[in-house]
């Protein structure tokens, strides 16, 4: 597969074509299954037919290092086999060290030996992240001890273990040419700092709304939610600026010993909502540019609930506008690492199409959360299959896919060969200028029964608009 480079806020091939990634998360959290889905060849074939060219592939600390300093090479071999299988189906891979609620003791992530909760209480039935991160003393204690680099039973600090683990992973996997980046940790949780910040914010809001109760999210108004998150943002951003950036620098030092592929950075767990990230750029004069990807997550406040009648597209628009501002400040390319998590309902495709519009507007790459076996045949997720310019000669200026009309229009600058995924059979490809439409020669590569990659090679330079109709 072609080498992917970072140029400013864009992904490019070695010969200068701009690349967009349209992807999906593949994260098996089941320890009994070895943290891997079975029969992924069939799934990857479906991904290719649906136009996906990226997977955000979840691996787990518990799987890699089940005992201190002991690495499970059989697990890593299966991980590598999966990444190499993905390459056969044209899929790039972003390697995500996944965790939820810190460790597998509570959900998934760290092994038990690294979950230093000191016997603190974990409330029974406390499984939802927005509850557990504030109510579970055990999870909070484990996170605090991790960030403090507390020694494990072998006398080595947890952060040191984590860095050494990443060295082992990268040394083993770096020859997989379809890997585009290493994500050190999914949605880092800062520990007791969050509870303290949330507690102070709660007291402030209760002065105006005595009935405010974080344990009853269904009763929190959007206005209260916005005010609350505004109160805690500064402390959460300070965690990003200090502790989290120190962590990212340490992970880059570990990763860069064996790889020059970029580090994938996002922000703390609450950056998945309306909290602005506080992370900065990784400055490394020796490595130069191209060592970092910005991978924000974004969800409306109803995610992981049964309150989708309260889903706010306006809230989603605003939170991603904030992430666009963060991207411009950082000057980094974006892969939206997680979005969606939609239930299979009649309204699902409408929400997907809304997010597709945001991805088009900002020319972002992304990975939908999440794949579950069988969803490729579920019509409620059909809008995940969308037309987009996978490779654009020169600079992509804009594009839009009209799903109802089966038509894609794109504007770009420069001459050369472009490649567009279309979930329909093309009837014609035309160029648009001030005098009207004119035919464009094109070729078609079948991707599925009614899915194709449409390629065309233009000689003229300057700004060009192309329309592909089905």
Q: What is the pLDDT of residues 273-320, one digit of tens each?
A: 889 999 999 987 677 789 999 999 999 989 988 899 999 999 999 999
Residue 301: what pLDDT? 87
- Judged against a pLDDT cut of 90, whether residue 462 lies above it is answered with no
Q: What is the pLDDT of residues 105-157, one digit of tens each?
A: 999 999 999 999 999 999 998 888 988 999 999 999 999 999 999 999 999 99
Q: Let me know: does 130 contact 225? Beta carbons within 8 Å.
A: no
The share of the chain scoring above pLDDT 70, in percent, equals 99
- What b/e sequence results for 69-89 when a residue is b if at least 16 CB atoms lie within 10 Å of its CB, and e otherwise? eebbeebbebbbebbeebbeb
Q: How confident is the model at residue 55 (pLDDT cuts 50, 70, 90)?
A: very high
Residue 337: what pLDDT? 98
Q: How confident is the model at residue 30 (pLDDT cuts 50, 70, 90)?
A: very high
Q: Which CATH fold topology does 387-470 show?
A: Immunoglobulin-like (2.60.40)
CA distance 376 to 369: 13
Q: Which CATH fold topology does 4-386 show?
A: TIM Barrel (3.20.20)
Annotated domain spans of the chain: 4-386, 387-470
Element (H, E) at 141: helix 137-147
Q: From 334, 340, 310, 308, select the one nearest 322 (Cα to Cα).
A: 334
Q: What is the pLDDT of residues 443-453, one digit of tens each?
A: 999 999 999 99
Q: What is the pLDDT of residues 341-379, one digit of tens each?
A: 999 999 999 999 999 999 999 999 999 999 999 999 999
Residues 260-277, mean pLDDT to the nearest whole number: 94
């Amino acid at each position: 597969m072609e080498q992917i480079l970072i140029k400013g806020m864009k992904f490019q091939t070695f010969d200068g074509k701009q690349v967009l990634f349209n992807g999906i998360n593949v994260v098996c959290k089941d320890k009994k299954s070895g943290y891997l889905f079975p029969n992924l060849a069939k799934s990857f074939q479906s991904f290719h037919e649906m136009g996906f060219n990226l997977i955000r592939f979840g691996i787990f600390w518990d799987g890699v290092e089940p005992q201190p300093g002991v690495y499970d090479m059989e697990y890593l071999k299966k991980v590598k086999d999966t990444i190499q299988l993905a390459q056969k189906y044209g899929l790039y891979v972003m390697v995500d060290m996944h965790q939820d609620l810190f460790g597998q003791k509570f959900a998934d992530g760290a092994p038990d030996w690294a979950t230093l909760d000191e016997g603190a209480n974990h409330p029974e039935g406390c499984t939802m992240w927005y509850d557990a991160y504030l109510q579970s003393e055990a999870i909070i204690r484990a996170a605090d001890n991790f960030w403090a680099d507390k020694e494990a039973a072998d006398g080595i600090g947890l952060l040191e273990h984590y860095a050494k683990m990443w060295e082992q992973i990268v040394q083993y996997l770096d020859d997989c040419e379809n890997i585009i980046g290493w994500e050190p940790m999914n949605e880092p949780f800062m520990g007791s700092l969050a509870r303290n910040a949330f507690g102070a914010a709660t007291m402030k809001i209760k002065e105006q709304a005595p009935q405010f109760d974080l344990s009853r999210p269904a009763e929190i108004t959007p206005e209260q939610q916005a005010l609350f998150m505004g109160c805690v943002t500064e402390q959460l951003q300070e965690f990003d600026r200090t502790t989290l950036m120190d962590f990212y620098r340490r992970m880059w030092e570990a990763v860069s010993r064996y790889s020059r592929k970029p580090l994938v950075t996002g922000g703390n767990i609450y950056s998945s909502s309306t909290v602005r990230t506080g992370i900065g750029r990784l400055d490394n004069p020796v490595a130069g540019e191209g060592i970092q990807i910005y991978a924000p997550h974004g969800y409306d406040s109803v995610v992981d609930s049964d309150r989708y009648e309260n889903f706010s597209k306006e809230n989603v628009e605003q939170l991603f506008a904030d992430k666009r501002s963060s991207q411009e400040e950082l000057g980094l390319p974006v892969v939206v690492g997680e979005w969606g998590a939609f239930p299979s309902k009649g309204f699902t495709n409408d929400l997907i199409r809304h997010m597709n519009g945001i991805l088009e507007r900002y020319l972002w790459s992304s990975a939908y959360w999440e794949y579950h076996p069988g969803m490729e045949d579920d019509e409620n997720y059909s809008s995940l299959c969308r037309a987009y310019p996978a490779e654009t000669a020169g600079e992509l200026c804009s594009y839009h896919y009209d799903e109802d009309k089966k038509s894609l229009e794109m504007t770009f600058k420069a001459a050369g060969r472009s490649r567009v995924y279309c979930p329909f059979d093309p009837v014609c490809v035309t160029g648009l200028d001030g005098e009207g439409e004119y035919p464009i020669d094109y070729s078609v590569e079948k991707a599925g029964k009614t899915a194709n990659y449409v390629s065309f090679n233009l000689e003229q330079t300057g700004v060009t608009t192309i329309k592909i109709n089905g």
